[in-house]
Amino acid sequence: MKNIITKSAFLFVGAILSANSLFAKDDVEVITVHHFMSSKAPLQTKLLEPWAKKIEEASGGKLKIEIFPSMSMGGKPDELYKQVRNGTADIVWTLPGYTPGVFPRTEVFELPTVHIGDAVATSIAMREKFDLIKDDFTDVKPLLVYAAAGNALHTVNKKITNMSDLKGLKLRAPSRTAGWYIEAMGAESVGMPLPDLPQALSKNAIDGALVPFEVFPAYKFAQLTQYSIEGEKGERFGTSVFMLLMNNDRFNSLSKELQKVLLDSVDMNTVKEVGQLWMDFEKPGMQMQKDSKGGEIIKLDSNAMAEFNKAGEQVVQRWVEEAKTKGIDGQKLVDSAREAISASSK
């Protein structure tokens, strides 16, 4: 009888432990993150992986982040927004430029002469003035919205010292407003996702591109371009906004506790840190261009830069007029963005 009771007790305890084990396993929320950059890119190694670890620790292991680089969940870079909206991926990292028209207000922070060249200042301004652009994000949950250091102009073999040198060149644009800027410069705009750019440069299908230096190591652009151009004080030709977006239903499915963990992980301090990271990411790429055979970084003088800024202002006014047709006060957005960026730069 004693043995029967002992055996029954053992089985009962075992059942309880097994149930607890299953509960503990099911209690872990696995969140997928999808992006198009490589697993070795700074985005993955310096931002997403440390962020995932931070979240897992802050949640006591209740949140686990699984990162899928290089579009390994399927699809193309310009489909990332659709994937997060329909729940194919829980979170994506993407750019407004890949889905033209979806983020009409957010574009203001990408415009030439609005963003000058400081990722920290523009990222802070976006966070502080998020109410200006919040209507762009009704279909998704924005976790982190920030700016790159900005687009430098890189050419395969044409040395650029003033805007007239660009006439007739084919240049890759990262967004539609960057395409307008290229046209205002007198060149031909060619739109394409970043992963397609190395092949286009190597085959001379295009003459150059607008991209930041931070992508140079991952895509070996120092081997594909001879000249890089920026302003005398490091001014850039507009920028790209980057976004970490989450599916609304997936976010709402989490407990309030876990929602708070996610939101706390992307506070203003994070915005400042990420902005500085992207400024720091420029340095290795710039050094690679300087060290490459025949490579040169050209600093445009104030007169030449004034020409580019005049073209940039044409783009701003074109954007303001288009925004008006959508019922958006574009000039108010431009003025507010410039004011916020200027204040954040001090």
What is the pLDDT, as a whole number, of residue 341?
98
What is the pLDDT, as a whole number, of residue 261?
98
Task: Say how far apart CA 105 and CA 313 lie, in whole Å.
Answer: 17
Separation of CA 252 from chain center:
24
What are the φ and ψ backbone dihedral angles of 88, each rounded to 5 degrees? -60, -40
Q: How many residues does the chain have?
A: 346
Query: Around Cβ 339, how many Cβ atoms within 10 Å?
Result: 12
Task: Say how far apart CA 122 and CA 309 lie, in whole Å.
Answer: 18
In this predicted model, what pLDDT tens digit does every residue of 205-219 receive, in sequence order? 999 999 999 999 989
Q: Return mean pLDDT, the chain.
A: 93
Q: Where are the alpha helices (DSSP H) in 158-281?
A: 176-184, 197-202, 216-219, 248-253, 256-264, 268-280
- Provide the token pair at 196: 């397609």
Residue 89 CA: distances (Å) to CA of 35, 81, 115, 247: 10, 9, 30, 8
In this predicted model, what pLDDT tens digit does every residue of 178-193 receive, in sequence order? 999 999 999 999 999 8
In this predicted model, what pLDDT tens digit does every residue of 155-182 receive, in sequence order? 999 999 999 999 999 999 999 999 999 9
Name the burial class of residue 11, with classes exposed (0-12), middle (13-18) and buried (19+) by CB atoms within 10 angstroms of its CB.
exposed
What is the pLDDT, as a whole number, of residue 26?
56
What is the pLDDT, as a whole number, of residue 225?
97
Residue, of 80 and 18, whose pLDDT is higher: 80
Name the burial class of residue 279, with classes exposed (0-12), middle (13-18) and buried (19+) by CB atoms within 10 angstroms of its CB.
buried
Are 171 and 208 in contact by the 8 Å Cβ rule? The answer is yes
